[in-house]
Amino acid sequence: MLIPCPLCGARDSREFTPKGHASYLDRPAEDAPPQAWNDYLHLRENPAGDTRELWFHGAGCGAWLVVERNTVSHAVTGARLAREVRDAG
Amino acid sequence: MRVDGRGLIDRSQPVTFKFDGRSVTGYKGDTVASALLGKGVRLMARSFKYHRPRGVLTAGSEEPNALLEVGQGAAMTPNTRATVQEIYSGLTVQSQNRIGPLDRDLLSINDALWPFLSAGFYYKTFMWPRAFWEKLYEPVIRRAAGLGRITRDASPERHEKAFAFCDVLVIGGGPAGLMAALTAAKGGADVILAEETPELGGRLLSDGQEIDGTPAAYWVEDIVKELQATGRVRVMTRTTVTGAYDDGSYGALERVARHVAPADDLPPECFWRIRARQAVLAAGAHERPIAFPMNDRPGIMLAGAVRTYLNRYGVSPGRNVTIFATNDDAHRTAVELMDAGVKVAAVIDSRTGVTAKGDYRLIEGGQVIGTKGRQGLRQITYRAGSRTDTLITDCLAMSGGWNPAVHLTCHLGARPVWDADAKMFLPAPGAVPGLTPAGSCNGAMSTAACLSEGLEAGKAALAALGRPAPQGVSLPEAEDDPGRTQALWYVEGKGRAWLDFANDVTTKDVKLAAAEGYASVEHMKRYTTQGMAPDQGKSSNINALALLADSTGRGIPETGTTTYRPPFIPVTMGAMGAFAEGHGFAPERRTTSDAAARGRGAPMIEAGLWFRPSYFPAPGETTWREACDREVAMVRNAVGVVDVSTLGKIDIQGPDAGAFLDFVYTNMFSTLKVGRARYGLMLREDGHVMDDGTTARLGDHHYVMTTTTAAAGQVMAHLEFVAQGLRPDLDVRIISATEQWAQFSVAGPLSRELLNGVLDQPIDDESFPFMACGAVKVHGVTGRLFRISFSGEHAYEIAVPARYGDALYRDLVARAEALGGGAYGMEALNVLRIEKGFITHSEIHGRVTAHDIGMQRMLSQKKDFVGKAAAARPGLLEPGRERLVGLRPVEAEGRLTAGARLFKEGDPHKRVLDQGYVTSVGYSPTLGHMIGLGFLRHGPECEGQEIVMVDHLRKVKTRVQVVNPVFFDPDGGRARG
Ligand SMILES: [Zn+2]
């Protein structure tokens, strides 16, 4: 599998480690109700199809990426820097 | 027998090898199979279940019968196909799956028991009584079952692995593959052409046909020259592409030196990972046997294989050959055998209205219904209309048609598509992105069509690469008649009709499976073991599913195929895991003091990827404990030196560095003064402890964090995630500096005295109090000094750029020795920290909270931090949780063991009554008894109580007292100095 790192170009997936769904970027506020924290920590979509995942380019530039990937075909259709996804809201 | 004037072997070079201890002579270029057939040897193996005598069925890697052990001793490789193994002088092969000589296998008693050994036999027979399993059934089954055997010793063979990249990967060097490679290369693409056999040409070398008016073998020679002239084609022969993976990745096994005597400078095999922008699959087709009664005797083989033995190896598998045909293609076998002067008894064709292609006896509308010959075919019985007759024959060449080798197109999950007219499964369109099937694997069954599809596939690959089609590649002229085929999967009659020769699966087994409700092809497969042998049913799966379809009243497409998975052929574990053993298993990280430590005779232990000294044996010491006790005392009484460079060192800089640390640590760091260090606790977002360590503030915008050795990588990734993903608003940058700095702990009452010998400016309590840090000059080199302690003693950590590490370590140890101290290792370090109740990842193992380790007060109320919300969950704060305690034996000589369980006194030692467990233990020479840390329900509330430690594994039971985890110097006066 190749992941198109915006900083490094298309690189072998073995340079990356995954962390799970991109919703992990949406950290609740400190005083958010327990249900919000529970959802954030433990509840993940597990789609058969397109999904957005966090990948760390640890053996490369050190960037955290939001990768768009299809869990059925394994097709990777895009990757953005997590920093920019976050800045864009 | 050998046939003069045929074959591509070198008859001027005889080669002698050993088969079951007997010398056999063939020629250079022969396989074991062709050499044995050349000598008239038909019996090569025993079958798996019934131990039936077997010969070769095929001439290729799909061979189900003739599996051999190659080589001797620990270097022996089982299940090697006689049809693939080339002979060389000194080669030793043995037949397998037998007890006693091949021609008198003692287990052939199974053959007489066949009515009882049907599908699901094991499931039905060995059900009960349960007690019989271990003692009786399993040993018996294990002895008799399993294809081949493995050596118990590690193989001395050293394989390679390698990576390759290309524009176009062409899989298969037959007519389609050659045309595709030539077209792609002439169009400017870099091409890898992988061919499974030693020679390019594919079936062009097996069939006596012509291309552009010349014998096909000559045309192949010309094309190979043309390929080489392009300078763009890497030809990899003896290389099987074993799997198709994501994004144009392919696995391939190259048999680098399986065809020559073992040599030190050649790996037997190399496993390739090939990344190709485009690929052309030209894998050809596998001929189908016909499941007629008693179709498994040596001498019964595929019609196409007979032509391969004749034209490629100059061998006729028989002197008087009969052909059982369902198609025009098989008639070629008769024609070519007769051309070569071999007698053809008859061609029995299941069809009517067929014309003979030569001067041979043609029996139309005929089917073979029985055979005779104990260790090789002697006679067949056939039925034609209402007539039944026999023929004397020593070789039966059968052909049920051809199955396109669609395997690789299915490796990403696609299912092949049934073509009802052609009666074959074809690759699904777009099954593997970037891969174009061409030739007979795509259903093109004439040579002309193969050449044409190869050319088009080459052009398609070029187009996908954005390259125009090349000039000057023209389509050669070749035979354009695919012939006609009648679907004949099996023949009804008396006696067993084999489908899967390798696993001894017969038509009866599949019918039984269907009758017993195993109607799904995947269930039938597992119930009968159809297609589960090393050949993965290449020659039998389609026949079996056609029979299943008939038995269940469904069509073939509704029945469907089983899943095709990589690898396409068996791959040795050694090749796939090349280098991943011994030193190659994982990278090895060595500290700058590694050579000095080893030079002092220290046994090294692994800490993650690092190697660290366990202890430093002194003259006269006979056990590690003696050394450890001495080193502990040395640190407590004088001074010790230990390399702590393996701890993660993370440099954190930026105007918001303090705010960033406040967010990743539970306690405050923005308030830390420059020139001071502080212990920090880090949680995961789920509220459990991730790591701990000290972080020092070197400047307003500059901190350096220390992590544990074990969690350095995890913490680095975590910090980057927080900085980039959660807090991009903070202006902070992070980089690992673990390998840039060599860092040594100097610990003990004399530590400052030692350091003042190496520092350009001496320090005292005022200039360098406890938890101070700052830049220092060490012998003129700029370094860093931290007054921190992991031993409880007055201690420092001194860091210099890594290139000075070796020199500084040797200097520090020499100075320590002059002061009555010296180097200490991990064992002593561990005892020292347990004496002080300091935790490591033995304690913070991922399931404990700050509350559990008594650090709840480190969770700041003034700010948000990672893990804060989750750590406040009531369940994580219950007093009854397993919490950190110290443990000491009630009797001084009592033994503690890590991993042992804790029980209340008087309670039975049952899991339901378990109160906790021991995490770290050591013998404290300071206190004169063992000490331990552990987690106990209600933890600190139980201090003073006596409980029981039970180690079920090591059979240890010790009465222990629960104590405070800080065993030594509880008020910390020694570290403050
Ligand atoms: Zn990158």
**E strand residue ranges, B293-415:** 300-302, 320-325, 343-349, 362-364, 366-372, 379-384, 387-392, 395-399, 402-404
Rounded to 5°, the CA angle B81-B85-B86 comes to 155
Window 445-464 of B: residues touching A by CB (8 A cutoff) are: none
Kindly state the average pLDDT of the residues A66-79: 93
- Check B724 against A81: CB less than 8 A apart: yes
Residue the block writes with tokens 């040579």? B447
Percentage of chain B beyond pLDDT 90 is 89
The answer to which of B298-302, B579-583, B814-818, B890-894 has the lowest mean pLDDT is: B579-583
Q: What does the alpha-carbon distance between residue B24 and residue B18 come to, in Å, rounded to a whole number? A: 6
Contact residues for A76 (Cβ-Cβ < 8 A; gap 6+): A1, A2, A3, A4, A67, A68, A69, A70, B247
| Nearest chain B Cα distance for residue A62, angstroms | 7
Of B52, B48, B599, B36, which Cα lies nearest the Cα of B295? B52
Mutate which of A26, A27, A40, A43 to test chain B, going by most B C-beta atoms within 10 A? A27
pLDDT over 60 at B219, yes or no: yes
| Residue B969, phi then psi, degrees to nearest 5 | 50, 60
Kindly state the average pLDDT of the residues B244-260: 96
pLDDT at B264: 85
| Burial class for B877, CB neighbours closer than 10 Å (0-12, 13-18, 19+) | middle
Residue A84 tokens, joined: 């920019």
- Check A30 against B717: CB less than 8 A apart: no
pLDDT at B890: 98
pLDDT at B48: 85
| Residue B773 Cα distances to B105, B673, B695, B770, B909, angstroms | 79, 10, 10, 9, 50
Over the stretch B550-600, which tens digit does the pLDDT of each residue have?
999 999 999 988 889 999 999 999 999 998 888 889 999 999 999 999 999
Percentage of chain B beyond pLDDT 70 is 96
> Residue B297: which pLDDT band, with cuts at 50, 70 and 90?
very high
Contact residues for A4 (Cβ-Cβ < 8 A; gap 6+): A10, A11, A76, A78, A79
| Residue B436, strand partner residues | B280
**What domains can you pick out in chain A, each with its CATH number?**
2-88 (3.30.2270.10)
Q: What does the alpha-carbon distance between residue B933 and residue B966 come to, in Å, rounded to a whole number? A: 9
Task: Answer yes or no: are the C-beta atoms of B287 and B304 closer than 8 Å.
Answer: yes
| Residue A34, phi then psi, degrees to nearest 5 | -50, -35
What is chain B's alpha carbon radius of gyration, rounded to the nearest angstrom?
37
pLDDT at B49: 84
Contact residues for B878 (Cβ-Cβ < 8 A; gap 6+): none
**What domains can you pick out in chain B, each with its CATH number?**
160-285+404-464 (3.50.50.60), 594-646+740-824 (3.30.1360.120), 649-736 (3.30.70.1400), 877-976 (2.40.30.110)
Using a CB-CB distance cutoff of 8 angstroms, which residues of chain B are in contact with residue A24?
725
Contact residues for B419 (Cβ-Cβ < 8 A; gap 6+): B425, B426, B443
Over the stretch B326-383, which tens digit does the pLDDT of each residue have?
999 999 999 999 999 999 999 999 999 999 999 999 999 999 999 999 889 999 999 9
Window 263-282 of B: residues touching A by CB (8 A cutoff) are: none
N-term to C-term CA, chain B: 94
Q: Is the CB of B246 inside 8 Å of chain A's CB atoms? A: yes
> Residue B824: which pLDDT band, with cuts at 50, 70 and 90?
very high
| Nearest chain A Cα distance for residue B711, angstroms | 14
Helix-then-strand count for chain B, H and E: 24, 50
Task: Answer yes or no: are the C-beta atoms of B281 and B438 closer than 8 Å.
Answer: yes
Strands B417-419 and B424-426 turn out to be antiparallel
- Check A54 against B721: CB less than 8 A apart: yes
Q: What does the alpha-carbon distance between residue B893 and residue B956 come to, in Å, rounded to a whole number? A: 13
| Burial class for B940, CB neighbours closer than 10 Å (0-12, 13-18, 19+) | middle
pLDDT at B154: 87
Q: What does the alpha-carbon distance between residue B322 and residue B115 come to, in Å, rounded to a whole number? A: 30
pLDDT at B96: 85
Alpha helix (H) residue ranges in B774-847 = 805-818, 826-835
- Check A83 against B864: CB less than 8 A apart: no
Query: In chain A, what is the greatest distance between 2 CA atoms, to the nearest angstrom?
Result: 41
Residue B619: cis peptide before it, omega within 30 degrees of 0: no
Mutate which of B685, B724, B735 to test chain A, going by most A C-beta atoms within 10 A? B724
pLDDT at B136: 62
Task: Answer yes or no: are the C-beta atoms of B719 and B690 closer than 8 Å.
Answer: no
pLDDT at B225: 97
| Nearest chain B Cα distance for residue A61, angstroms | 11
Strands B77-81 and A76-81 turn out to be unpaired
pLDDT, mean over chain B: 94
Q: Is the ipTM of this complex over 0.85?
A: yes
